[in-house]
């Protein structure tokens, strides 16, 4: 990466000549131009990290702690009308949270997308 000696902006690589055989570095701000010392450009790409979906696991210890709020909702497993509830941001920040429920009677856990 090189910078313009006149204004300090980063110089941009441009191809000139037949088939882009000559390269110059040009300032997008003031127009300063200098012949590139390299005969071919080097392109550096950052490796893309695959986005993985997080899975939230509540262990036995956490499950026994009765500090989570409860709501009146029917358990699809046993029909009990009370469940612990918590929210987790499982998708992108611009999307709504996922609401998780755990039955207070049988411990069955399910989720609801908001």
Residues forming a β-bridge with 13: 25
Q: Are 80 and 74 in contact (CB under 8 A)?
A: yes
The separation between CA 67 and the C-alpha centre of its own chain, rounded to angstroms, equals: 31
The set of long-range contacts for 67-74, using a CB threshold of 8 Å and a minimum separation of 24, is 68/102, 70/104, 71/101, 73/101
Marked catalytic residue, from 2, 33, 95, 112: 95
Catalytic residue check, 60: no
Active site (annotated) includes residue 95: yes
Active-site amino acid positions: 94-95
């Amino acid at each position: 990466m090189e910078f313009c000696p006149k204004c300090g902006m980063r110089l941009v690589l441009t191809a000139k000549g037949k088939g882009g055989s000559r390269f110059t570095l040009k300032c997008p701000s003031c127009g300063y131009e200098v012949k590139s010392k390299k005969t071919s450009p080097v392109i550096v790409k950052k490796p893309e990290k695959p986005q993985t979906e997080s899975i939230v696991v509540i262990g036995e210890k956490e499950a026994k702690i009765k500090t989570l709020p409860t709501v009146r909702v029917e358990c699809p497993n046993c029909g009990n009308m009370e469940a612990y509830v918590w929210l987790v941001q499982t998708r992108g920040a611009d999307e709504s949270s996922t609401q998780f429920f755990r039955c207070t009677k049988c411990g069955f856990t399910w989720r609801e997308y908001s």
